């Protein structure tokens, strides 16, 4: 089997991290924030009818796979992507491709990855990582959120690739078959910004974008009376978990998009983007403040904790700030 020299770089988020690491392997160097921005990764959604581990789902980024699809389309990268009917077929095809010296992105469940600390191993089925070779029977792994490369045994990898639950990975694997040697980023940056502004401001459904933050704020306010204390704490805890532990969460995604805008400002010589980058960093701080106070409520650490009504007001503050921000961003001439 070919031994591949794969340059692993730790990143904040798995999907944008795999994009950056895989593309760099083929000579197309873009940073993780640039991948996130071109892919219009920043988003918000609260889905009360889509239960994740029994509680409503909240997302601070666009749905899994969308960043990858958009970046590939906008940069002219052609990918081979496959899903499989059985673990046997999936593992055979993985062996064939890495045997040709080709690093492969795979979709997995965090729960079955033994190199994760136990506290972080829960049923989240949309984690991206790169398999770049084998050491004996074990697979060599570049997991972008880990600081160094690692290994995984075949049984655990097969379980991770075929975990049950929503969404089912179904052994999905993907790898580039055509990567341009050089690209102009101006048009992809503009397309990414336009799409992010549209999704945050103009989707008519009340559960998405800025409207979605306000939608969640109204629900949080009435959690105790409608759900009871125990369930209210469970629901609030999941909002924080999705914000602070899944990928880079609410504040982290805002900080990453701010880094994208700073990089775009330098590339396009557009100082207005640098100013907006600083503004978005401040919005990230608002999200962190909400998470901190919500965490105290969940843990009941203090008699003078904020109320659910006050948490709702913090979310409304985040919504107002993001609405102003994205309206300004949508008007920048690029």
Strand partners, 106: 129, 173
Residues 218 and 258 in one domain: yes
Helices (H), 151-248: 154-161, 186-201, 209-221, 223-227, 229-244
Separation between Cα atoms, residue 220 and residue 237, nearest integer Å: 11
Sheet hosting strand 138-142, strand order edge to edge: 78-82, 173-178, 104-108, 127-135, 138-142, 150-152
Structure tokens at 147: 């600081």
Residues 86 and 233 in one domain: no
Say if 67 falls within a structural domain.
no
Say if 73 falls within a structural domain.
no
Residues 85 and 208 in one domain: no
Burial class (CB in 10 A: 0-12, 13-18, 19+), 170: middle
Read off the pLDDT of residues 93-122 as tens digits, 9 standing for 90 and up: 999 999 999 999 999 999 999 999 887 777
Residues 147 and 233 in one domain: no
Name the domain boundary from 178, 209, 224: 178
What are residue 191's phi and psi, to 5 degrees? -60, -40
Say if 236 falls within a structural domain.
yes
Structure tokens at 249: 């969460």
Say if 118 falls within a structural domain.
yes
pLDDT at position 249 over 70: no
Residue pair 333/194 in contact (Cβ under 8 Å)? The answer is: no
Residues 153 and 282 in one domain: no
Residues 200 and 297 in one domain: yes
pLDDT band at 250 (very low <50, low <70, confident <90, very high): low
pLDDT at position 266 over 70: yes
Q: What is the pLDDT of residue 303?
A: 53
Q: What is the pLDDT of residue 97?
A: 96
Read off the pLDDT of residues 151-161 as tens digits, 9 standing for 90 and up: 999 999 999 99
Residues 247 and 171 in one domain: no
Structure tokens at 182: 């050089």
Residues 143 and 163 in one domain: yes
Dihedral angle sign, alpha carbons of residues 241, 289, 67, 30: negative
pLDDT at position 246 over 70: no
Half-sphere CA count of 73, side-chain side, radius 13 A = 11
Residues 139 and 89 in one domain: yes
277 closest CA partner among 202, 332, 315, 210: 332
Residues 197 and 311 in one domain: yes
Structure tokens at 133: 């070779």
Residues 157 and 263 in one domain: no
Which residue range is the domain that position 243 belongs to? 186-330
Of 40-44, 56-60, 265-269, 278-282, the range with the lowest mean pLDDT is 56-60
Of 175-184, 242-251, 305-314, the range with the lowest mean pLDDT is 242-251
Domain CATH code at residue 113? 3.90.70.10
Say if 48 falls within a structural domain.
no
Residue pair 138/153 in contact (Cβ under 8 Å)? The answer is: yes
Separation between Cα atoms, residue 224 and residue 231, nearest integer Å: 8
Read off the pLDDT of residues 272-309 as tens digits, 9 standing for 90 and up: 999 999 999 999 999 999 998 998 888 875 556 789 99
Of 55-59, 159-163, 199-203, the range with the lowest mean pLDDT is 55-59
Say if 40 falls within a structural domain.
no
Say if 1 falls within a structural domain.
no
Residue pair 208/44 in contact (Cβ under 8 Å)? The answer is: yes
Dihedral angle sign, alpha carbons of residues 94, 163, 298, 279: positive
Say if 108 falls within a structural domain.
yes
Of 63-77, 202-216, 235-249, the range with the lowest mean pLDDT is 235-249
DSSP letter for each residue of 236-298: HHHHHHHHHTSTTHHHHHHHHHHHHHHHHHHHHT-HHHHHHHHHHHHHHHHHHHHHHHHHHHH
pLDDT at position 244 over 60: no
pTM over 0.85: yes
- For the ranges 25-29, 110-114, 208-212, the maximum mean pLDDT occurs at 208-212
Domains identified in the chain, total number: 2
Name the domain boundary from 178, 208, 226: 178
Residue pair 141/150 in contact (Cβ under 8 Å)? The answer is: yes
pLDDT at position 124 over 70: yes
Looking at every residue in the chain, the average pLDDT score rounds to 91
325 closest CA partner among 227, 234, 210: 210
Residues 168 and 252 in one domain: no
Name the domain boundary from 155, 178, 201: 178
């Amino acid at each position: 089997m070919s031994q591949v020299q794969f340059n692993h770089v730790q990143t904040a988020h798995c999907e944008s991290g795999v994009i950056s690491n895989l593309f760099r392997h083929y000579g197309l160097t873009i940073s993780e924030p640039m991948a996130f921005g071109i892919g219009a990764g920043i988003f918000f959604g609260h889905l009360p009818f889509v239960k994740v581990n029994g509680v409503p789902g909240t997302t601070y980024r666009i749905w899994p796979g969308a960043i990858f699809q958009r970046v590939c389309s906008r940069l002219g990268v052609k990918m081979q992507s496959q899903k499989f009917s059985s673990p046997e077929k999936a593992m055979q095809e993985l062996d064939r491709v890495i045997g040709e010296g080709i690093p492969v992105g795979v979709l997995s469940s965090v729960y079955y990855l033994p190199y994760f600390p136990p506290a972080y191993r829960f049923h989240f089925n949309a984690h991206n990582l790169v398999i770049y070779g084998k050491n004996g029977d074990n697979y060599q792994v570049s997991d972008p959120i880990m600081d160094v490369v690692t290994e995984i045994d075949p049984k655990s990898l097969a379980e991770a690739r075929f975990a049950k639950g929503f969404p089912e990975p179904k052994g999905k694997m993907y790898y580039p078959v055509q990567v341009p040697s050089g690209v102009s980023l101006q048009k992809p940056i503009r397309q990414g910004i336009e799409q992010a502004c549209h999704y945050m401001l103009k989707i008519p459904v009340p559960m998405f974008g800025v409207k979605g933050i306000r939608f969640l704020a109204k629900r949080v306010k009435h959690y105790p009376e409608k759900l009871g204390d125990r369930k209210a704490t469970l629901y609030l805890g999941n909002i924080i978990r999705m914000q602070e532990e899944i990928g880079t969460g609410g504040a982290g995604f805002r900080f990453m998009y701010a880094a994208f805008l700073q990089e775009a400002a330098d590339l396009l010589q557009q100082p207005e983007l640098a100013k907006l980058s600083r503004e978005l960093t401040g919005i990230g701080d608002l999200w962190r403040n909400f998470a901190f106070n919500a965490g105290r409520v969940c843990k009941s650490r203090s008699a003078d904790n904020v109320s659910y009504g006050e948490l709702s007001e913090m979310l409304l503050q985040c919504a107002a700030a993001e609405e102003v921000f994205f309206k300004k961003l949508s008007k920048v001439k690029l």
